[in-house]
């Protein structure tokens, strides 16, 4: 078997935890029934698996099981939340607020709504990636129906102040949606304490399977109305029709449960690895940390490197480490990261960035090896640039 590079791209996806796979397997072969077919034992078995999973996910965010709507992932959940609110509340207003650094799964639905006559305010971020709460408060109007702010940024790992944002939104009677795809199972989430009305979730960022996610939809104080985006059999309270993928749902819940069990210790483990990597890399001159130094995901390290070509840097790292320069969902876009441009970086610096996504199964020895390769690659590229300039 050929040598495979060290995987440090856990914001793109995570390897499935073997315990998650073990939980899923019986639902492919033994408990294979349709959870909507409740006239016989096969349907009851599948329904029981879905019910238990829904309870686990609800408990994880301090919701009720009825408020969990299963989707194919966070992208669908974001679309259902944003378009669903826009269609259900358009008579109240046609103004939405989001942030320049959001994932494309939020920005693109918002741009779609603009083509339909809605108005979208894109809030800027400060140099550390955090929004200015005063700017948010000033941006809210009588016709504002939704504020959407990501919990944890997929590129720079910055954690936005959800509780403060939720408080502002509820004081102004505006719905608050957060894309928590990168946050679930990694940081504490409480939809009640944080005044969150809609929350998008996914499994594959937390060592679960791809192709399954969920949308939390508040049922009380206030009761959130949504226009479904997929019609059909009326599953999921009529908000998302389609046969439920029971094995994926069971795996999603198992992944989140495992994340919650070890949240504190795993966060500390990742933090120590991140500190070790940054300590080594920061010894080089003209290396910039992107995002808030501490208010970020423990396993996220995003840097920009002066005096190197971004593509050459990625190529030089490839034999040893699998990383990316930004969002995996925008990997076909060769332009600089919209997130780093929003931080105020020039295009040259935004294009020469590396996102290290450290995960559960990484070791201190791997981080040492990655640091050595990165330092050697950056030094080599800079020497080559100096020679070309002479």
CATH code for 6-14+263-389? Answer: 3.90.1150.10
Number of helical (H) and strand (E) elements in the chain, helices listed first: 13, 12
Helix (H) or strand (E) holding 246: helix 246-261
Sheet hosting strand 300-305, strand order edge to edge: 287-289, 300-305, 353-357
Largest CA distance in the chain: 80
DSSP secondary structure code for residue 14 in this structure: -
Residue 306: which pLDDT band, with cuts at 50, 70 and 90? Answer: very high
Q: What is the pLDDT of residues 104-142, one digit of tens each?
A: 999 999 999 999 999 999 999 999 999 999 999 999 999
Length of the chain in terms of residues written: 390
Q: How far is CA 329 from CA 113, 120, 162, 171, 324, in A?
A: 21, 22, 24, 35, 11
What average pLDDT score do residues 73-89 get?
98
Q: How far is CA 161 from CA 22, 60, 179, 222, 367, in A?
A: 36, 19, 13, 21, 30
Helix (H) or strand (E) holding 273: helix 263-281
Helix (H) or strand (E) holding 375: helix 364-389
C-alpha 387/C-alpha 384 separation (Å) is: 5
Spans of all domains in the chain: 6-14+263-389, 18-260
Share of the chain above pLDDT 70, in %: 97
**What crossing angle do the helices spanning 364-389 and 310-317 adopt, rounded to 10°?**
140
| Phi, psi angles (nearest 5°) of residue 251 | -65, -40
Q: Tell whether the model's pLDDT for residue 328 goes beyond 70.
A: no
* pLDDT for residue 1: 39
What average pLDDT score do residues 169-196 get?
98
Q: Is 301 in contact with 278 (CB distance < 8 Å)? A: yes
Q: How far is CA 320 from CA 6, 202, 271, 371, in A?
A: 6, 29, 21, 10
Q: For strand 353-357 and strand 321-322, is the pairing parallel, antiparallel, or unpaired?
A: unpaired
* pTM for the predicted model, two decimal places: 0.95
Q: What is the pLDDT of residues 333-346, one digit of tens each?
A: 567 899 999 999 99
Residue 93, helix vs strand vs coil: coil
Closest by alpha carbon to 111, among 86, 135, 141? 86
Q: Could you tell me where the DSSP H helices lie in 39-175? A: 41-61, 74-89, 104-115, 133-139, 162-171
Q: For strand 95-99 and strand 119-123, is the pairing parallel, antiparallel, or unpaired?
A: parallel
**What crossing angle do the helices spanning 246-261 and 41-61 adopt, rounded to 10°?**
30
Domain 18-260 fold: 3.40.640
What average pLDDT score do residues 174-201 get?
98
Q: Tell whether the model's pLDDT for residue 327 goes beyond 80.
A: no
Please, how many CA atoms are within 13 Å of residue 232, restricted to the half-sphere of its CB?
10
HEC-encoded secondary structure of 321-341: EECECCCHHHCCCCCCCHHHH
Mean pLDDT of the chain, nearest integer: 95
Cis peptide before 22 (omega within 30 of 0): no
Which residue in the list 10, 110, 169, 329 is annotated as catalytic? 329
110 an active-site residue? no
Q: Tell whether the model's pLDDT for residue 389 goes beyond 60.
A: yes
C-alpha 52/C-alpha 255 separation (Å) is: 13
């Amino acid at each position: 078997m050929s040598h495979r590079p060290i995987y440090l791209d856990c914001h793109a996806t995570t390897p499935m935890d073997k315990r998650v796979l073990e939980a899923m397997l019986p639902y492919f072969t033994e408990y294979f029934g349709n959870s909507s077919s409740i006239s016989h034992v096969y349907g009851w078995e599948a329904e029981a698996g879905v019910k238990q999973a829904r309870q686990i996910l609800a408990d994880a965010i301090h919701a009720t099981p009825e408020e969990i709507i299963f989707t194919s992932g966070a992208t669908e959940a974001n679309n259902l939340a944003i378009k669903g609110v826009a269609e259900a509340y358009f008579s109240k207003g046609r103004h939405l607020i989001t942030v320049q650094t959001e994932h494309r799964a939020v920005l693109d639905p918002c741009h779609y709504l603009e083509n339909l006559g809605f108005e979208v305010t894109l809030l800027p971020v400060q140099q550390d990636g955090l929004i200015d709460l005063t700017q948010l408060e000033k941006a809210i109007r009588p016709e504002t129906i939704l504020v959407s702010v990501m919990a944890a940024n997929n590129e720079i790992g910055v954690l936005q102040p959800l509780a403060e944002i939720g408080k502002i939104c509820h004081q102004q009677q505006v719905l608050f949606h957060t894309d928590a795809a990168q946050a679930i199972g990694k940081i504490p989430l409480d939809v009640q304490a944080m005044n969150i009305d809609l929350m998008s979730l996914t499994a594959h960022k937390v060592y679960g399977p791809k192709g399954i996610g969920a949308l939390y939809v508040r049922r009380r104080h206030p009761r959130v109305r949504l226009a479904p985006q997929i019609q059909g059999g009326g599953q999921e309270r009529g908000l998302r029709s389609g046969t439920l993928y029971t094995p994926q749902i069971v795996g999603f819940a198992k992944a989140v449960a495992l994340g919650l069990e070890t949240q504190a210790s795993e966060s500390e483990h990742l933090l120590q690895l991140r500190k070790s990597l940054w300590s080594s890399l920061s010894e080089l001159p003209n290396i910039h940390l992107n995002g808030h130094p501490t208010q970020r995901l423990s396993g996220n390290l995003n840097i920009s490197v002066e005096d190197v070509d971004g593509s050459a840097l990625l190529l030089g790292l490839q034999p040893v480490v699998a990383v990316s320069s930004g969002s995996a969902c925008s990997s076909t876009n060769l332009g600089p990261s919209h997130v780093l441009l929003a931080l105020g970086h020039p295009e040259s610096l935004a294009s020469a960035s590396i996102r290290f996504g450290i995960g559960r199964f990484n070791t201190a020895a791997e981080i040492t090896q990655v640091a050595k390769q990165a330092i050697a690659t950056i030094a080599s590229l800079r020497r080559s640039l100096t020679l070309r300039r002479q």
